[in-house]
Structure 1
Amino acid sequence: MDVDSYYQLILLIVLLIISGLFSGSEVALFSIDKNKFKGKQNKGTLSRKYILNLLQSPKQLLVTILIANTILNVAASIISVSIAIQIAHANKYPVNLVLVIQIIILTVLVLLFAEISPKLWASKHPIKFAQLVSVPVYWTFILLFPVSKILSDFLKVFTSSINYDKRKTALSSEDLSDLADISVEKGTIEEEEHELIQGLVSFRDVTAREVMTPRVDITAISIDTELKDILNLINESAHSRIPLYKDNLDHILGILYAKDFLPFIGDARKSNVLNLKKMARECLFVPETKLIHELMHEFQEKNTHIGIVVDEYGGTSGLISLEDILEEIVGEIQDEYDKEESEVTKISNNSYLVLGKLPIDEVNELLSIDLTSKSDDYDSLGGFIFNQTGKVPEEGYSFIFSNYRFIVKEVKNNRINSVLIEKVNSSN
C-alpha cells in the first residue's frame, strides 16, 4: 500500500466513526422524553439548547440523520473499493475476488462499529449520547435544511393517506405524572392540583384492598340487635348504610339503610314487627384485587354505593364505598359527620406522631425511606411494625429501622393505633 492508500484507510475509519455517531444519535434523540428533558437542571448548557431545538422537528431531524448517514456510508464504500482495487493491482490478485472480500469486510465493520455498537450505547445512555452529538447533528441539520425540508414535505404528502392511530401521540400516565412533578417544582401548579393529577394517574392501578375500610373498623349490626341499640348505633356512627351480619362478619346478610328506620323512631311498639333480614338490601361482594375504576362502574350499573371486600377464602376483609374511591382521586372528603383526625402530627423537625393505619406508601413519602419489600405483605404502618416484631407489641415498645426510631404509643384490641417516629442521628 502506498501513502495515498494509508490516507484513504484513515479517512475510511473516520467516516465509519462519524456514521456511528449519527446512527447512535437517531436512537438517543428519539429516546429522550422532551417534557422530562425540559425539567432537567442543566438549563444553561449549549447541548441542551441544541437538543430541544432538534426535537421541535422530529420528522425533519430523522430525514437529516438518514441523509447524513447515507452520504457517509456511500463515501466509505467508494473509498473501500478504491483501496481494494489498489491492493488487487499491487499484489496481482483477481479484482473481483478482492471486491467481494471488501464488501464482506465493510459490511461487518459498518454493522459492528457504525450501527449496532453505537445504537446499543445510545439506548443505554440516551441523554449522554445526545449531548455528545448534539453540536455536529445540529449544524448538519442547519446545513441540510433545504434538502431535508423538501424530502420531509414530500413524505408528508406521500404518507397522508395512511391512517395512523392518533392515540399513540397522547401522553402516557407516566408522562402526566412527570409533568405534574415538574410543574409543582416550578410553581406552575399548586400542591392540591398536583395531588389531584397524581390521584387520577394512579387511579387505574389501585385495588379495593388498598382503599377499603379494614374489617376491624367496620361498623355493622348483628341480626339479633334490638331496635333501640340499632338507633343508637346509627346516631353515634352517622353512617347512612350499615352491613347486617349473622354470627360474625364473615356472614354478611345485606346492607341496612338508616332512612328505613325513620318510621320506627319514637314508636317502640313497631319493634315487634321489625324484620332486619327483610329490610336489608342486596349486598355487593367484591374481591380484594378488584380495580377501583372497574368497581366504580359496577357501583353505577347496580345503583349502589357500598360493597363488602372478601379475601380468596370468602372471608370479609373490609368494606369499600363510593366515597372511598372518590377520595383516592380528590383526597380526603370531610362531611358534617366526619370527625377531623390528623393521620400525621408533626412534633418537631425530626419527630412525628403517626396513626397505625397510615398507608405504608405515605409513610415512605413522609420519611423519604422505603419500608417495603417484595416478600412482605402489609399495607399500613401498623402492618410494618407487626412484621418487624413478629408479635403484638406492648405500648412503649421501640426499635430502630433505617435511622428512625419507632415507638408504639397506643395499642387497643391487638391493634396499633399510634406510633411516635423519631429521627436518630447516625452518631448515636
Structure 2
Amino acid sequence: MAVAAVALLTLSATAVRAVSRLWLRHWIEHRVGGMGAMARYLERPSRLVHTAGTASMLVVFATGSVIAMNDGVQAWIFVRDVVLFLGLLLVFGQLLPRAVGRRWAPQLVPVLVPVLRLTDLILAPFHALADIVRRLVTRPETTNGDDMRDGLEELLRDGTFHDIGATEEMAIITGVVQFGDKTVRDVMTPRPDMFLLRDDLTAAELARQVATAGYSRVPVYRDSPDQISGMVHVFDVFRRRGEAVPAVRPVAFTRPEKSAKDLLFEMLRSRRQLAIVQDGGAVTGLVTLEDLLEELVGDIRDEHDDGSE
C-alpha cells in the first residue's frame, strides 16, 4: 500500500515536471470551471512537485515506523523487511513511475494534478509550520533576485534528467545564473581601453575620428576625460555628413561595485545605451547595454562585426 502511494505521488510529480508551463497554462484555462483555484499552481508548479515529495517522505517515515513496531526486537527480521521495502520502493515507487510519467505526461496531468492539489490541501498545516521555521532560521529576503536564481538553478537540474534544451539553450540559462553574481567592474571596458573625444571638435574632425574609431557610440568630455558630458552616435554624425556637430546624447552613470543585473534593469528603464563608470569622481570605465546582454546570452554579432574576433 505504501509503495503504491509513493508510486502515485512520484508519477504525478514527474508528469507535472515533464510538461512545460505553457502547456499547463493551456490546460488550466480550458479545463471545466476555468482557472479558479488552480491558477496559483500555474505561477508555481513546483509547489505541486514539493507537495508530492513531502507526502512521499511522510509515507516512507510512517511505513518505517510500522515495520519497526511490528518486528519488535527481532533485528534480522527488521533488516529483511526494510531491505524488501526499499527494493520495492526503488523499482515500483520511483524508477517505473518516473519512466511512465515522462512518457505519457500530457495524458496523465489532467488526471493526476487534482490528486496533487488534494494532497497539497491536506498537507497545508505542514507547509505552514515549515514556512514559520524557515522564516525563523533564515535571513529575510530583500529582493526577488534570489528566487529567480533558485528557479533557474532548479531548471538546470531538471534539464539534466529531462533532456530539456539544447546546448546553446543550457548555456544561456547558465549565463543568466552566473550573471546574478557579477558587478559592473566585471563587465566594464576599463579606462585605458576607452575611446573618448572632446566635445569642442569641429564637425569634420569629429566625423573623421568617429569613422576611424569603429564604435557606434563614443563618449565625449568637456575639459578632462573625467568630465563626461554625454555621447555621440555614429548615425547622428554621418547623417550630418560632417557639416554640423550632432547633439550630445545623455549617458547613465554608475559605480564599479554596482550589481550588473541592477544596472541592466536601470538602463532598460531609462532607455540608456551606455553607462560611464565612476569611482570617487574619476572615470574608471564604461559599460554598454550590449556588454550586459552578452553576459547573459553570449557573444552578439551583426553584419558589421569582424568574424575573426
Match of 1:229 among 199, 202, 205: 205
Distance 2:157 2:122 in 1: 35
Question: In the superposition, relative to structure 1, how do residues 301 and 62 fare at CA in structure 2: closer, same or farther (>3 Å)?
Answer: same
TM-score, normalization by structure 2? 0.54
The structure richer in strand per residue is 1
Match of 2:217 among 241, 250, 266: 241
Distance 2:231 2:283 in 1: 14
TM-score, normalization by structure 1? 0.41
Distance 2:91 2:301 in 1: 59
After TM superposition, give the deviation of residue 224 of structure 1 in Å: 4.0
Question: In the superposition, relative to structure 1, how do residues 314 and 60 fare at CA in structure 2: closer, same or farther (>3 Å)?
Answer: same
Match of 1:64 among 60, 67, 71: 60
Question: In the superposition, relative to structure 1, how do residues 244 and 70 fare at CA in structure 2: closer, same or farther (>3 Å)?
Answer: same
Match of 1:294 among 255, 262, 280: 262
Contact 1:208 1:287 in 2 (8 A): yes
What residue ranges of structure 2 are gaps of 5+ in the alignment? 1-13, 15-51, 74-81, 93-115, 132-143
Identity %: 27
Query: Higher relative contact order at CA 8 Å, sep ≥6: structure 1 or structure 2?
Result: 2
Question: In the superposition, relative to structure 1, how do residues 232 and 336 fare at CA in structure 2: closer, same or farther (>3 Å)?
Answer: farther
> Which residue of 2 is the match for residue 332 of structure 1?
299
For the residue of structure 2 that corresponds to 1:172, the secondary structure is helix
After TM superposition, give the deviation of residue 153 of structure 1 in Å: 11
What residue ranges of structure 1 are gaps of 5+ in the alignment? 1-33, 35-55, 80-132, 144-151, 343-428
After TM superposition, give the deviation of residue 290 of structure 1 in Å: 2.0
**One-letter identity of the residue aligned with 2:267:** F
Distance 2:294 2:120 in 1: 46
After TM superposition, give the deviation of residue 308 of structure 1 in Å: 0.7
Match of 2:169 among 193, 196, 214: 193
After TM superposition, give the deviation of residue 307 of structure 1 in Å: 0.4
> Which residue of 2 is the match for residue 316 of structure 1?
283
**One-letter identity of the residue aligned with 1:331:** G
Contact 2:187 2:287 in 1 (8 A): yes
Matches within 5 A, 1:103-252: 136-139=85-88, 158-159=122-123, 172-179=151-158, 189-252=165-228
Contact 1:176 1:201 in 2 (8 A): no
**One-letter identity of the residue aligned with 1:337:** H
Contact 1:212 1:319 in 2 (8 A): yes
Contact 2:203 2:242 in 1 (8 A): no
Contact 1:180 1:198 in 2 (8 A): no
Distance 2:215 2:233 in 1: 9
> Which residue of 1 is the match for residue 31 of structure 2?
none
**One-letter identity of the residue aligned with 1:174:** E
> Which residue of 2 is the match for residue 381 of structure 1?
none
The structure richer in helix per residue is 2
**One-letter identity of the residue aligned with 1:284:** A
Contact 2:189 2:286 in 1 (8 A): yes
Distance 2:265 2:209 in 1: 30
